[in-house]
Copies of this chain bind each other. A is one copy, B any other.
Amino acid sequence: MSFSIRKATSSDMDGVLELIKELALFEKEPDAVKITAQTLRDYGLGENPLFTCFVAIHQDKVVGISLVYYRFSTWAGKSLHLEDLIVSKEYRGKGIGLALYNQVMLYAYQNKVKRVEWVVLDWNKRAIDFYEKSGVTFLTDWHLVQMDENQLATYVKKC
């Protein structure tokens, strides 16, 4: 199956959002996606975007994405965060995920980051196996902590 990988453009963002929703469903959080395709356009394109999105295209359709942005580690320095790596269900097993992953690592290497980092659900064995084969380190003794928009508003008003 032929596919090509390039940076996402404005007209890709509806397809990108569909894949984000597909992943949320897989991660058992079907109602978690609060953004729109316009949010992706607003923050992912133009000057000083908040993220860079790569798309895998097959017959003019977005069938996979990888979405990354820079972070700063006070131990390592400039790093790249892999926020999402998604291949639409019916297009899996065709090398698209690997190609998107390789694109991310090449981008990281070319931009001289000191580390690439991301998170994975502890029950997502298929993803863990995939990452393990590529030579990564897993850190299992950290909790993620989140204060969402409503919690933040409540907290700030008490400060």
> Helix, strand, loop or mixed for chain A's interface?
mixed
B39 and A77: CB pair below 8 A?
yes
Q: Mark A86-123, 1 if CB is under 8 A from B, else 0.
A: 00000000000000001001101100011111111111
What is the total number of residues of chain A having a CB less than 8 Å from a CB of chain B? 68
Q: What are 12 A-B interface contacts by the 8 Å CB criterion?
A: A35-B75, A50-B71, A105-B156, A114-B148, A114-B149, A115-B147, A117-B144, A123-B141, A135-B155, A137-B145, A137-B147, A139-B146
Tell me, in angstroms, the Cα distance from A117 to B78 when the chains sit together.
Answer: 18
- Nearest 10 A/B pairs, CB to CB: A139-B144, A50-B72, A51-B72, A109-B156, A116-B147, A119-B142, A32-B75, A20-B74, A102-B159, A136-B147
Q: Give the residues in chain B near A114, CB-CB below 8 Å.
A: 34, 148-149
Known: A32-B75, A105-B152. A138 touches B144 (CB 8 A): yes
A48 at the interface (CB under 8 A from B): yes
Tell me, in angstroms, the Cα distance from A110 to B158 when the chains sit together.
Answer: 15
